[in-house]
Amino acid sequence: MQIVRTLIWVLILFAILAFSFFNWQPVEVTLWDNLVLETKVPALVIIAFLLGLLPMWLLHRSVTWSLNRRIRSLENSVKSSALARRHEPTADTTPVAVPPPAVEKPVESTVKPGDSLTPTDSADG
């Protein structure tokens, strides 16, 4: 992604340089009735570009900053709740004697010889 961004900025710079080379003429810009600014066309275009870019860049940076703060806050709350559950003492810490398992007597088979699910002694398997 870094190479794409660099390539785009190089193309923009090249376009500005080509535009500046072919349009190097003085222009007069009237700011107020008594105030006239004489500048070159490329300087005027670059200033206009930066005046349009700067507010949107500042908005982007502020939104990114606030979202990163929110993400860090949520991550910290999840981490603290996980640590709290991990170190939470159990209700009863005394060892409990477990009785040995009861031995069950074998179940008598209720399968009849004609059932379809009973294994057969045939050679089929």
* In the chain, where the domains are located: 2-86
- Per-residue pLDDT of 60-106, as tens digits, reads 999 999 999 999 999 999 998 888 887 766 665 666 677 777 777 76
Question: What is the chain's alpha carbon radius of gyration, rounded to the nearest angstrom?
Answer: 40
User: Angle at Cα 91 formed by Cα 88 and Cα 97, nearest 5°?
Assistant: 125
End-to-end CA distance of the chain: 64
Q: What is the pTM of this model?
A: 0.52
**Higher-confidence residue: 93 or 4?**
4
Residues with Cβ within 8 Å of residue 41, at least 6 apart in sequence: 20, 23, 24, 25, 27
